[in-house]
Structure 1
């Protein structure tokens, strides 16, 4: 057997990375994730603008399961 015979095809080498990303996305949509952040624009140590962000990333099915009837 030569090293050429044992080499993995390119598509097989890429597949685990895509599979991991799909699994991660499936888990995030199944459980939900809250993303929060804050940005402050200031000049000379004077806060001019503050932006706060909160985002919920989830699937509709997960949200409807947790909703009260």
Structure 2
């Protein structure tokens, strides 16, 4: 059994998953196109960064958080 198969067989709590995502950060992106008769009318592009403040901006000695 490989390492990936071992991870897939173990249940992961939602809290643990959220902690991992916020600790490292994740980028979500998507595109939406509304068209009629093959004519594009509306194009929407979405890009969102999900991360904790501590992960996004590391704390330095003199910088307040």
Query: TM-score under structure 1 normalisation?
Result: 0.66
- Provide structure 1 residue ranges, at least 5 long, that are not aligned to the other structure: 1-16
Question: By percentage of residues, which structure has more helix?
Answer: 1
Moved over 3 A (4+): none
Instruction: Tell me how many residue pairs correspond in the alignment.
Output: 50
Question: Any stretches of 5+ residues in structure 2 without a counterpart?
Answer: 1-10
Q: Residue 65 of structure 1: CA displacement?
A: 1.5
Q: Which residue of 1 aligns with 2:25?
A: 32
Query: What is the deviation of 1:63?
Result: 0.8
Whose Rg is larger?
1
TM-score by length of 2: 0.70
